[in-house]
Amino acid sequence: MPSEPRHLQDLPGNAKIALDMADRFLSTRATADRLGLSVDRVRQLIRSGDLRAHRLGERGDYRILVSDADAVMVPVRAALEGADDA
């Protein structure tokens, strides 16, 4: 059985799940930093549907899965080839 990371070993079960999930989500600021964009641009991508996000409550900030943030970055060659199809 693989051992858990050290930072999870002494936590009760629910705390492990919460910490594991926290490691997978980014704030809009962290997403902007990761992608090299402004926070406003990240919010535009979310509103346009180009970046999937989850909202914290009705008026809360967004949380973005790391994998969704990374999926926004498309290699230039792939982006250019897709533009040829249009």
pLDDT in tens, 1-46: 455 555 445 555 555 555 555 558 899 999 999 999 999 999 999 9
**Range of 50's domain?**
8-85
The CATH number that applies at residue 33 is 1.10.1660.10
Q: What pLDDT is recorded for position 35?
A: 94
The pLDDT, as a whole number, for residue 86 is 53
Distance CA 55, CA 73 (A): 21
3-state DSSP percent of the chain in helix, strand and coil, to 5: 60, 10, 30
* 44-61 pLDDT per residue, tens: 999 999 999 998 888 888
Bridge partners of 27, per DSSP, are: 63
Domain total in the chain: 1
Tokens of 80: 């250019």
Identity (one letter) of the amino acid at 27? Answer: S
Cα 75 to Cα 70, 78, 79: the distances in Å are 11, 5, 6
In this prediction, residue 1 carries a pLDDT of 44
